Amino acid sequence: MVASGTPRDRSRRAKYRIIADGLRAKILAGEIAAGDRLPSEHALMDCHEVSRVTIRQALAELRQIGLVESRQGKGYFARQIKPVQDLQRLQGFEEMLAPYGIETRSKVIEHLEVPADSETANALQLAPDESVVRIARARIAGGTAVSLNISMFPLLLGRRIVSLDISRHDIFNLLETRLDIQLGYADLTFSVVPVDERHAAHIDAEPGEPSICIHRLTHDLAGAPIGFELIYCRVDAMQFRAQPSRW
């Protein structure tokens, strides 16, 4: 396949990507904190010995993924990283953060076999007090705790899941690539609740602070429920996007 554009065009594209990647790395590492002003266009032009067009392409790329914002007459400023959950797609944490180029991981807090409570048993269509595997994970992006996921799975499936590397990979990804389970859809319910003292430290919140709680019931491609989750995050830690139609 022949690359499109002139060699000069391709060179300029490569330069703006290098500049954008360098600024993104500084923002994600905290060297440029949320609210900090980025170097001026002139300063970046002098530093990288490139044109204003190239600098503006780099800044536009960062603005498109939500890492910077422009303020009329003041320049560009770093924004707080807020992952965007697309409510029209069933996304894993890694998929949600992919546009930012941010490293993601999970801190596994516990995985236990416990009797299902009534809500979990009803969601997963289990008998009362039937055992499930409960997995609690703090989801971390670029060193920042974004959410706490408490996931319940039927016993046999849960045992298979905890035998895999759930600290480095999304469970959704592992279900599809390692366990050959194709995901279909999820039912989501949102509420705002005070942060429980047990959960607060895992999402960098204060006990009693308002948080978003998402109840997520995931189904396989045939429609059978396979996982029930409670996802907690601070109200300022995540954004949600949907495009509902009129009817």
> Is there a contact between 30 and 69 (Cβ–Cβ < 8 Å)?
no
Domain 84-241 has CATH 3.40.50.720: no
Domain 7-78 has CATH 1.10.10.10: yes
DSSP code, position 39: P
Which among 49-58, 80-89, 176-185 has the top mean pLDDT?
Answer: 176-185
DSSP code, position 215: E
pLDDT of 182-195, one tens digit each? 999 999 999 999 99
Residues 235-242, mean pLDDT to the nearest whole number: 86
Q: Comparing 200 with 10, which gets the higher pLDDT? A: 200
Q: Calculate the alpha carbon distances from 94 to 84, 160, 161, 231 in Å.
A: 12, 21, 17, 15
What gap in Å lies between CA 221 and CA 214, rounded to an integer?
22
Average pLDDT value for the chain: 89
239 confidence band (pLDDT: 50, 70, 90): confident
218 confidence band (pLDDT: 50, 70, 90): very high
Record the pTM: 0.76
Q: Which residue has the tokens 């045939």?
A: 222
Per cent of the chain over pLDDT 70 is 95
- Look at residue 183 in the predicted model and tell me its pLDDT: 97
* Amino acid, single-letter form, for residue 158: G
pLDDT of 27-51, one tens digit each? 877 788 888 999 999 999 999 999 9
- Look at residue 225 in the predicted model and tell me its pLDDT: 98
CB-based burial label for 181 (10 Å; 0-12, 13-18, 19+): buried
What gap in Å lies between CA 231 and CA 150, rounded to an integer?
6
User: Where exactly are the structural domains of the chain?
Assistant: 7-78, 84-241
What gap in Å lies between CA 132 and CA 124, rounded to an integer?
10
Residues 203-224, mean pLDDT to the nearest whole number: 95
Residues 119-148, mean pLDDT to the nearest whole number: 92
| 3-state per-residue secondary structure call for 182-210 | CEEEEEEEEEEEECCHHHHHHHCCCCCCE
